[in-house]
Structure 1
Amino acid sequence: MSSFSIAAMMIASPAWAQTPEQPAEIRADRITQTVKTMTLDQFEGRAPGTAGEDRTIGYLIGRFEALGLEPGGVDGSWTQPVPLLHTTLGKPQTLAMSVDGQTMALDAGKDIYVSTLQPNPMAVVEDAEMVFVGYGVTAPEREWDDFKNVDLTGKVAIFLVNDPDFAAASDESVAGKFGGKAMTYYGRWTYKFEEASRRGAVAALIIHETEAAGYGWNVIESPQGENYDIVRPAADITSLALQGWISGGMAQRLFDNAGLDLAKLRIAARSSSFQPVALNAKFDATYRVDQKVVKSQNVLGKITGKSRPDETIIYGAHWDAYGEGLPDADGRIYRAGANDDALGIAGIMEIARKFKSMPQADRSIIFAAWTAEERGLLGSEAYAQAPIYPVEKTVANLAIDILQTAGAAKDVILVGKGQGTLEDDLAKFAKLQGRVVTEESLPERGLFFRADHFSLAKQGVPVLLMMGFAGATDLVDGGREAGQKWIDDYTGNCYHAACDAWSPDWDLTGAVQDIEVMFDIGNDLARSNRWPEWKDGSEFKDLRDESATMRD
């Protein structure tokens, strides 16, 4: 079935009609219909660069048109092209470390996981010196620099995972200097690789620890050797021929052979006086690289503001999922992401419908369906690198990525406490619903840095993420115990799996509450001259402050 046929099938129904007499309700039945459609086999699991993408793009454009939105993409179109670099490593031709000339063979997958983001036919690291750089943090606002001007050019950087204060006891001077158990941007593996590249390293490896990483080695090793990136100009391509992880056990062997006490170095790395340590070790690796460019697209619709159209509020969710996989117990082969994130797309469509049923707002409202979130937030990253609407006058980015489907809730979950004033808006509008805010329960997992809003945050745009599995919701029926059961069932069985499918057991009452809160926050901003801000201590505050005069 063609993309046009699917889109036409869905927009022909009178259920989508909207009368302008009063604001539209955000309705669970319409949300359900969108999710059920986006997870049809015709969409093939919505993987970027496939026939399933073509059909998905056609469907989204058809829906945006039916809602009365204007094209919000490049040059008056509905889309923004997002070319993606897809790389896959073959079996290693060489892979070893050596200490004082004594070779330590490495088992790819068991001892080390690497991939590449360079568009080269071979990934080669030859006789490269290895340097332990602690947590690899450069944070002037925290008076912290782990590198101490060490020259990493052509070397391999070895990092600890998470932040310097993650494992610190309360009486240590570093405790609380970053986020404590709550991960900051400096704790993310993406930051560490970027920092190593900025310093000219040829490779970077993070020592895996399950607690600090938030997931076991089994999550890291699959898929082996595959990676994605946006296609970048030559000047912006990473210096890292290889990047990845080294298992905790192999790291211990490496440091032992080098005559170093890794346990003591972990403690030393918690101090701002830490100095990088040369391991007197070398790393060698040679891989053949299969590479191709995958053509993908973001889809954007808009409602132009009547008095300040250059000031924009962006609602975002990602349309992509994982495509075809192995059959599950019910015979499903498409990992179509019903909750992650067809439900988010359905939410922003309902928000768009409600805005279109109301008088025109002062500011413009953008509705973005991002590609390649599951490949590393790449659709939103492509937009952030080449924004269609200036980031300096982007008021906020409100993101929806996974909602709980277990019923009405007494609370709403806050992801990223202390980052920005939008969390105050969340509390205000949740209170009007008779609900309260509950902080995410596992801030050490860094969920704030793992959804599409983060790409805009790195450009200084204030953001808010609605994510239903960031903490156990206090459900009206069953309380927090039932909320935790929903999380355990979803993450333990269906997250990123074929069984992330629509179910007749879904109760979208709580999801509707969360979508309504996000509408209320954006509606209030769209009809005011208020500019949300980052709070003191946020990694993104200085960047936003630098552009303040453009908003005066």
Structure 2
Amino acid sequence: MSRCSIPLLLAALLLAAPAAGQDAPTLSIETLKTVTETLSSDAYEGRAPTTPAEAKTTDYIVARFKTAGLQPGNHGSWFQDVPLVEITARDVAPITITGGTTPLSFAYRTDMVIATYRVVPRIAVRNSDMVFVGYGINAPERGWNDYAGVDVKGKTVVILVNDPDWETAGNDGPFEGRAMTYYGRWTYKYEEAARQGAAAAIIVHQTAPASYGWNVVQSSWTGPQLELAAEGDHMDQSEAIGWVQLDAAKRLFASAGKDFEALAATAGNKGFKAVPLGLKASFTFDNSVRRQASKNVIGVLPGTERPQETVFYTAHWDHLGRCDAVDGDDICNGALDNASGVAGLIAIAEAQVKAGPAARTQAFMAVTAEESGLLGSRYYAEHPIYPLGLTVGGVNMDVLNVNGRTRNVVVTGYGKSDLDDLIVPLAKAQGRHVEPEAHPERGGYYRSDHFSFAKLGVPMLDAGSGEDLVEGGTVAGEAAAKDYGEHRYHQPADEYDPTWDWSGAIDDLTLYYRLGRGLAEGDSWPAWKPDAEFRAIREASRAAAQ
């Protein structure tokens, strides 16, 4: 394929990055404040897709795109319809466990959560044999199969979250050590259980390997659940999927005469064999089903020389809507997650329009249903408006830094593509250095919308300020991150604060602006590294686009 060398593009980007004291792109702090405050106000009710708040949200984004000077990005329309099905579990009975030393009953929300991908009015699982399948991984290329020698058709599988080597200090191991692979994501666990024919798949919640507490599971997995509408109504999936509290899981294993901690440790070893528990699970719940399209919002700044080639900026506009009340507040406003990212998207659009069109088209897309499993970006990637083989790459923004300037820039999935190399000189021009994420075991690479593009071959940067604050260092930065994770993330307390320091966000957005501008003005095609799992599909899509 034809592409200029990455070293040449690195040099071009470095030359395009002004030294300290020179003019920077015009990125409006007022835009960041106004958009974030507006979208996270109670009037927007937490921006849940397919609720009355959606039209208010998407109309506001369109108005800001128009004011910025963008053009409609979907053949004259600002919207891409995303067909969704909303399933709300009702009358959820406790999960009852029989066959062990002690009959057990696990209550909905406190002990477990349960849901389904299937578009059916009722789920009823009766006397389903339970099997512990370790990490629930079938990875032939790694010589690993937790389902080897066991038939789980019609059974309920109990699964551990993350990868078998998640507690490894470094990144060496059968599943890249501390760095989570896709095999460690909860989405994969359910996908594989369905392929194996399991009636139900239950993940044991543990805070460290999941990287969030039970409160996040409870708020995210109760109430209306969204999935992409599809032919067949997802009847190829397990009847039920869910999570169980760790203490409840320990009681379950004890009733089976097993030691949970001992079996969990064994599951981390290659050659682990699934363990029938001698227990039977039963549960029922009804479903309210509603079909409705949500919307991605897309605006473009058309290119002047190669408009068919596109550079993307993305951020998700949705949040959780109404959620579990805390001190009487039941709106999960999602100020940082991700009203701030949408504000950044609009601020960059304003700056790019002010700078004028580039050689390539620049697209700005606010996607829906990220919180439901990256559904909006996944739908776009599977139904692209602009061919993926002609999509150069881009930047995804999910939660901006409002804690002040930092000395470091952190990249999730660092080392997977040339984009990671390209931001090094841009960060250096700001007096910052680039480093991998501190907690790759949290699977951040698989938890935001860049991944939908990556799965289909398009390199997208997912980066942001690290925790080494200029004022306060890593102590202050880590404390701020911990406070957000424990007290605000996916909770009503994620609200706009007029005292936030946006200087770090401006640094990050400047970096994203310059990366996108360099790609849009140039003719390079950033590639995946030789060992990246997405390299082959990218090479195929680029070849087909020639």
TM-score using structure 1 length: 0.86
Aligned-partner SS, 2:485: helix
Please tell me whether residue 59 in structure 1 is matched to residue 60 in structure 2.
yes
Cα deviation for residue 298 of structure 1 reads: 0.8
Higher mean alpha-carbon deviation, 226-235 vs 311-320, is at: 226-235
Shift of 1:205: 0.9
* Cα separation, 2, equivalents of 1:305 and 1:357: 14
Paired with 1:79 and 1:443, the residues of 2 have a C-alpha distance of 34
Runs of at least 5 residues in structure 2 that lack an aligned partner in the other structure: 1-22
Q: Residue 190 in 1 paired to residue 187 in 2?
A: yes
Residue 486 (str. 1) matches residue 483 (str. 2) = no
- Counterpart contact for 2:220–2:320, Cα < 8 Å: no
Pair 1:417-2:417 in alignment: no
- The question of whether the paired residues in 2 share the 8 Å contact of 1:411 and 1:436 is answered with yes
- Deviation, 1:107, is 3.0
Q: Which amino acid aligns with 1:195?
A: E
Q: 2:148 matched to which residue of 1?
A: 148
* Separation of aligned partners in 2, 1:520 and 1:223: 35
| TM-aligned CA deviation for residue 141 of structure 1 | 3.6
Deviation at 1:132, TM superposition (A): 2.4
Summarize the Cα distance change of 1:333–1:201 in structure 2 as closer, same or farther, 3 Å threshold: closer
Alignment counterpart, residue 370 of structure 1, candidates 361, 367, 370: 367
The residue aligned with 1:129 is 129
Match of 1:213 among 210, 213, 217: 210
Give 1:150 shift. Answer: 4.2
What is residue 237 of structure 2 aligned with on the other side?
A: 239
User: Retained in 1: the 8 A contact 2:118–2:233?
Assistant: no
CA contact (8 A) 1:403 1:466 kept: no
How far apart are 1:87 and its partner, in Å?
2.0
Distance 1:508 1:168 in 2: 36
Q: Distance in 1 between matches of 2:258 and 2:366?
A: 49
Report the alpha carbon displacement of residue 332 of structure 1 after superposing the two structures with TM.
6.9
Name 2:37's counterpart in structure 1: 36
Change in Cα spacing, 1:142 to 1:308, as seen in structure 2 (3 Å) is farther
* Equivalent residue, structure 1, for 2:14: none
CA–CA distance in structure 2, aligned partners of residues 124 and 254 of structure 1: 20
Contact 1:49-1:296 at 8 Å conserved across structures = yes
User: Aligned partners of 1:168 and 1:406: how far apart in 2?
Assistant: 30
Letter in 2 for 1:155: K
Does 2:317 align with 1:323? no
Q: Match for residue 280 of structure 1?
A: 278
Contact 2:200 2:238 in 1 (8 A): yes
Which residue in the other structure is 2:298 paired with? 300
Give the secondary-structure state (helix, strand or coil) at the position aligned to 1:88.
strand
Q: Deviations 1:226-247 (Å, cap 9, x if unpaired)?
A: 3221222216544211101223
Q: Which residue of 1 aligns with 2:456?
A: 459
Task: Describe the shift of the 1:465–1:122 C-alpha distance in structure 2 as closer, same or farther (beyond 3 A).
Answer: same
- Asked whether the 8 Å contact 1:417–1:439 carries over to 2, the reply is yes
What is the CA deviation profile of residues 489-531 of structure 1, one whole-angstrom value per residue up to 9, with x for unaligned ones? 4333333344433333122111001001111111111222322
- Rounded to whole Å, the distance in 1 between the matches of 2:169 and 2:397 is 35
Is residue 163–residue 178 contact of structure 1 (8 Å, CA) maintained in 2?
yes
Written as runs of structure 1 = structure 2, the 5 A alignment for 1:63-74 is 63-73=64-74
Contact 1:90-1:225 at 8 Å conserved across structures: no
1:432 pairs with one of 429, 451, 455: 429
Q: In the alignment, which residue of structure 1 is the partner of 2:99? A: 99
Number of residues paired by the alignment? 523
Say if 1:168 and 1:270, in contact at 8 Å, map to a contact too: no
Q: Per-residue deviation at 1:436? A: 0.8
Deviation at 1:297, TM superposition (A): 0.8
The alignment's TM-score, normalised by the length of structure 2, stands at: 0.87
State the 1:370 CA deviation.
1.0
Determine the C-alpha separation between the residues in 1 that align with 2:348 and 2:117: 37
- Structure 1 distance, partners of 2:169, 2:44, is 50
Q: Contact 1:402/1:466 (CA < 8 Å) preserved in 2?
A: no
Counterpart in 2 of 1:83? 83
Q: Which of 41-50 and 257-266 deviates more?
A: 257-266
Which whole-Å deviations, capped at 9, do the CAs of 1:86-119 have from their partners, x for residues lacking one?
2222234463223379854333334332111211
The answer to whether the Cα contact below 8 Å between 1:117 and 1:238 also exists between their aligned partners in 2 is no
CA distance in 1, matches of 2:112, 2:42: 36
Aligned residue runs from structure 1 range 153-164, under 5 A: 153-164=153-164
Partner of 2:196 in structure 1?
199
Letter in 2 for 1:316: T
Deviates more, 1:137-146 or 1:78-87: 137-146
Deviations 1:337-384 (A, max 9, x none): 222222211211122222223343232211101112223322212222
Higher relative contact order (CA 8 A, sep 6+): 2
Q: Structure 2 CA distance, aligned partners of 1:38 and 1:200?
A: 42
Distance in 2 (alpha carbons) for counterparts of 1:400 and 1:419: 18
- Runs ≥4 in structure 1, deviation > 6 angstroms? 326-329
Q: Percent identity?
A: 40
1:516 aligns with 2:510: yes
Q: Secondary structure at the match of 1:547?
A: helix
Tell me which amino acid in the other structure corresponds to 2:181. Answer: T
1:459-478 aligned at under 5 Å gives the runs 459-468=456-465, 471-472=466-467, 474-478=468-472
**Alignment-mate amino acid for residue 158 of structure 1:** V
Report the 3-state secondary structure (helix = DSSP H, G, I; strand = E; otherwise coil) of the residue aligned with 2:400.
Answer: coil
Contact 1:393–1:550 (Cα < 8 Å) also in 2: no
| Aligned amino acid, residue 99 of structure 2 | V
Asked if the contact 1:185/1:539 (under 8 Å) is kept, the reply is: no
Q: Deviations over 1:474-496 (max 9, x none)?
A: 22222222222332343333333
Cα offset, 1:72, TM superposition: 1.1
Deviations 1:292-319 (A, max 9, x none): 2343211001122233333222100111
Structure 1 counterpart SS, 2:355: coil
Equivalence for 1:10: none
Aligned to 1:538: 532
Take 1:483 and 1:550, find their aligned partners in 2: how far apart are those partners? Answer: 45
